[in-house]
Structure 1
Amino acid sequence: MKDSLDAADRQRFAGSYAHRKGALSHLAYGVSSTPRATQNPVAIAVERGEGAHVVDVDGNRFIDYALGYGPLILGHTPASVIAAIQNELSHGLRTASVHRGEAELAELIAACVPSAEQTSFVSTGTEAIQLALRVARAATGRVKIVKFRANYHGWADGIHVGNAIGQDGASALGQDPQAAQSVTLLDWGDAEQVEAVLDSSFAAVIVEPAAINGGCFEPPAGFLERLRTATQRCGALLIFDEVITGFRLALGGAQERYGVTPDLSVLGKALGAGLPISAVSGSRAAMEVLSSGRLMHRGTFNGNPLSVAAAIACLKVLQTERGEIYPRMDGFAARLCRFLNDQAARRNAPIRAREVGAALQIFSATAPVETLRDTAKVDKDKTLLFTGALLRQGVMTLPRGLCYLSSAHSEADIAATETAIAVAMETMAQSTAA
């Protein structure tokens, strides 16, 4: 464990520091997902969440923009979601049988998401990606997949390649280097590359319709439309990975925002409002291999009643209040983005920010970050220093600078965050000068 705590940090975050040291004894790496260990100055041990805030074991209170890595679109304690979970708990944890909630949730998703004529449930985004790829291969009788650089589609060996600019090979220690041989890597945003490569040997093109993981980039004009045309021309399926963008960029996700309907959509994160559930949705034609029972689809916890109940409650809130929730979240993200860039310009600070809908990315970079390729210029260490400076001011982001907005964030939260940003920039400038 890298120790970056000074004396003040050791006092302020004493409980988190002690927890981290103790957890290393029996919990591998002290965390259950490796990125959580990268938080600066220490992995914060959270005691509870309340609305748009979290409180750690030391009693420190933070405005939370990490939001569980994105699922908490209604905040930490949405009353209707908690009530739905409690009601479902009173019926028992689960059975080995079907339950009525599965069909109700699938119908709700169909009402929200343009591509979702039929839906099948799994537990995680990585699982959902694997199911979508299998559906595409089974439906077309083909194997090859187009994937874009710096798009992330889960950590399974067969697709975990090209996850950062300049990193085209396997992305993880222990990964089977042969597993992704059927994947062709292209540059996100470059439709001409796709049109030049795509032929009748490809089963699918999988894409993050907005590159949130890569740094919050809108798709270039015409990019998604040309993917749609190119895949239809050669009989391949178009898969939108909407694990992040689904229900976040709009009720109908990126496909509603940009007006392009894929064959298959992968949904997750915000779908469950904080409980683990993901889904593959698609047209009846694309989903036929599943709906006919010909394609194997298994999972002990697929469609588990607690997660389904939470998802139903979440989507009902988003449906009912969409006219208020989405403009409010988007407006707050845009406001914070402007404030970050304005403050950086005034102070000549190496901080840049971008936003797409209710997602915001903070970078440390001396040059503009306008495209995915520009992310190669980002100083990851200084980004981590800045997010650590924000944490000390009571603002929690993801360590790499990605922020999510929720319906629970208030005007007061945004104003307090602006104050924290100004102080963090000044602190960072002083430490750099020293």
Structure 2
Amino acid sequence: MQTTQRDMPAFSNSRQYRDFAVRHLANGVSSTPRTAQLPVPVAMDHARGVVLTDVDGNDYIDYTMGYGPLILGHNPPEVVAALKAEIDKGFRTASVHPGEGRLAELIAETVPCGEISSFVSTGTEAVQLALRIARAATGRTRIIKFRANYHGWFDSVHIANAPGNDGPSSGGQDPKAVENITVVDWGDAAAFAAAISSDYAAVILEAAAINAGCFAPPEGFLESVRDLTSRHGVVLIFDEVITGYRLALGGAQEMFGVVPDLTVLGKAIGAGMPVSAVTGNRAVMEALVNGSVMHRGTFNGNPLSVSAAIACVESLQRGAAEIYPRMNAHAAAIQAHINAEAAALDLDVCANQVGSAIQIFTGVRQMARIGDLAGADRGKIVKLTEKLLLNGLMPLPRGLMYLSAAHTDADIEKTMHALSKGLHAYAAV
């Protein structure tokens, strides 16, 4: 690694790039959260395996993993080969091609609920398609969502994402877009039982609340949601944009043993290329099959993204018995190390972990449930992740870390050392 405590990285080229970018690019970035990084939003030059190299030549062990999609690491050979072969055939955007059927077959082989699939480009789009299918299948319009579960940035679901705010999460949202949304506390089976009725078309949730802070579902919660939605004829949608192909080959529904009616997939399925899917049982997906739901999109199922997804899922399928236990063990070791070091340094810092995802919190010493999020200090976490970055690690600025199949035991050993140095530096501030 080039980055050490004695030779702290310089960011002159990243700063120079930012000064240039903000002239014509909003905030100098293409996604708002990227502005939060300290000491500056770092501009990347190239990546390989699990190492990111910025425009100043600094190397980092990457734990952003593209905000989750890079389940096989950067530039996995099987995905790169598939993309090169596909490019040689021509882009063929907006065409029917054999890859679509193969990817749908792979989903059926790996995702418990995945009998019929349909493809779009982003998780936000896939959520909207899933909700539309559920409404068409039931003839109802009302939806239940859960606090601190993120389902994309469209007005119809972009609410109740932060503690203490059940309203819109952004300026410019249409407040009337959520008139048919009911918000319930995630993990609270009693509150959900009181809210659910046969008036609802769908319930949508993250089976494991990774986006909120890496929370596993409380015992019996998913089972209760599944039972009550079935009783009331309500479509159960798992948003597995993060957890699909990450927590297990079959995602959160495999890990926790609860099968929804519809699942939204994204991120990891494409190994870094933009592709997402709605998949589900034949009965509910019939609303799309029979044409009652309109499904359009120029880039839906584009051959490049589909080829990457096929290569990715096939690779995960072949190696699942080894890949997932190793990733999860690495993540558990990192979480335990953070918590032990924080305790030894008497810091208000802790970490949660579910599968191959870790969330670091500041301002608290334990984060047991989503309701505790209000106690976390969101400003200090950015300062802590800066210390980690200065010691050669690249987590997301908000403290979320993703493992990949490419992280080795040697990478984890280096990571432990860098974590210790970063936490000591944070304690000294």
Distance 1:366 1:82 in 2: 42
Residue in 2 that maps onto 1:172: 170
Post-superposition shift, 1:181?
1.0
Residue in 1 that maps onto 2:409: 411
Structure 1 segment 90-239 matched on structure 2, within 5 A: 90-239=88-237
Structure 1 residues 306-357: Cα deviation after superposition (integer angstroms, max 9, x where no partner): 0000000000000000011001100000000000000011110121001000
Quick check: 2:127–2:151 contact (8 Å CA) kept in 1? yes
Post-superposition shift, 1:269?
0.1
Residue in 1 that maps onto 2:253: 255
Q: Which runs of 5+ in 2 are unaligned?
A: 1-5
Quick check: 1:9–1:41 contact (8 Å CA) kept in 2? no
- List structure 1 runs of 4+ shifted beyond 4 angstroms: 8-11
Distance 2:392 2:307 in 1: 33
Post-superposition shift, 1:41?
1.1
Residue in 1 that maps onto 2:83: 85
- The one-letter code of the counterpart of 1:178 is K
Q: How many residues align?
A: 424
Post-superposition shift, 1:97?
2.3
Structure 1 residues 379-421: Cα deviation after superposition (integer angstroms, max 9, x where no partner): 1111111000000001000000000000110111111111111
Residue in 2 that maps onto 1:23: 21
- The one-letter code of the counterpart of 1:113 is V
SS at match of 1:184: strand
Seen in structure 2, the aligned counterparts of structure 1 residues 11 and 100 have a Cα distance that, compared at 3 Å, is: closer
Structure 1 residues 119-143: Cα deviation after superposition (integer angstroms, max 9, x where no partner): 0000000000000000000100001
Post-superposition shift, 1:96?
3.3
Structure 1 segment 375-414 matched on structure 2, within 5 A: 375-414=373-412
Distance 2:363 2:248 in 1: 30
Distance 1:164 1:346 in 2: 31
Residue in 2 that maps onto 1:63: 61
Post-superposition shift, 1:113?
0.1
CA RMSD of aligned residues (A): 1.2
Structure 1 segment 318-329 matched on structure 2, within 5 A: 318-329=316-327
Residue in 1 that maps onto 2:346: 348
Seen in structure 2, the aligned counterparts of structure 1 residues 106 and 11 have a Cα distance that, compared at 3 Å, is: closer
Post-superposition shift, 1:9?
11
73-82 or 414-423, larger mean C-alpha shift: 414-423
Quick check: 1:367–1:377 contact (8 Å CA) kept in 2? no
Post-superposition shift, 1:365?
2.2
272-281 or 290-299, larger mean C-alpha shift: 290-299
SS at match of 1:285: helix
Quick check: 2:241–2:265 contact (8 Å CA) kept in 1? yes
Residue in 1 that maps onto 2:425: 427
Equivalent of 1:366 in 348, 364, 367: 364
Structure 1 residues 156-212: Cα deviation after superposition (integer angstroms, max 9, x where no partner): 000000001211001101011111111000000011112111112100000000000
TM-score normalized by structure 2?
0.97
Seen in structure 2, the aligned counterparts of structure 1 residues 145 and 292 have a Cα distance that, compared at 3 Å, is: same
Residue in 1 that maps onto 2:3: none
Structure 1 residues 91-119: Cα deviation after superposition (integer angstroms, max 9, x where no partner): 00124321000000000000000000000
Quick check: 1:71–1:272 contact (8 Å CA) kept in 2? yes
Quick check: 2:93–2:299 contact (8 Å CA) kept in 1? no
222-231 or 192-201, larger mean C-alpha shift: 192-201
Distance 1:302 1:97 in 2: 9
Distance 1:199 1:34 in 2: 37
Q: 2:297 aligned with 1:270, yes or no?
A: no
SS at match of 1:281: strand
SS at match of 1:36: helix
Quick check: 1:67–1:75 contact (8 Å CA) kept in 2? yes
Distance 1:42 1:9 in 2: 18
Quick check: 1:10–1:17 contact (8 Å CA) kept in 2? no
Structure 1 residues 244-301: Cα deviation after superposition (integer angstroms, max 9, x where no partner): 0000000000000011100000000000000000000000001001111221000000
TM-score normalized by structure 1?
0.96
Quick check: 1:121–1:277 contact (8 Å CA) kept in 2? yes
Structure 1 residues 62-115: Cα deviation after superposition (integer angstroms, max 9, x where no partner): 000001100000000100000000000000012432100000000000000000
Distance 1:279 1:407 in 2: 22
Post-superposition shift, 1:40?
1.2
191-200 or 74-83, larger mean C-alpha shift: 191-200
Distance 2:50 2:125 in 1: 29
Q: Which runs of 5+ in 1 are unaligned?
A: 1-7
Q: 2:306 aligned with 1:308, yes or no?
A: yes
Distance 1:95 1:331 in 2: 40
Distance 2:229 2:21 in 1: 48
Post-superposition shift, 1:11?
7.0
Quick check: 2:8–2:390 contact (8 Å CA) kept in 1? no
Quick check: 2:94–2:299 contact (8 Å CA) kept in 1? no
Distance 2:200 2:218 in 1: 23
Structure 1 segment 46-61 matched on structure 2, within 5 A: 46-61=44-59
Quick check: 2:163–2:371 contact (8 Å CA) kept in 1? yes
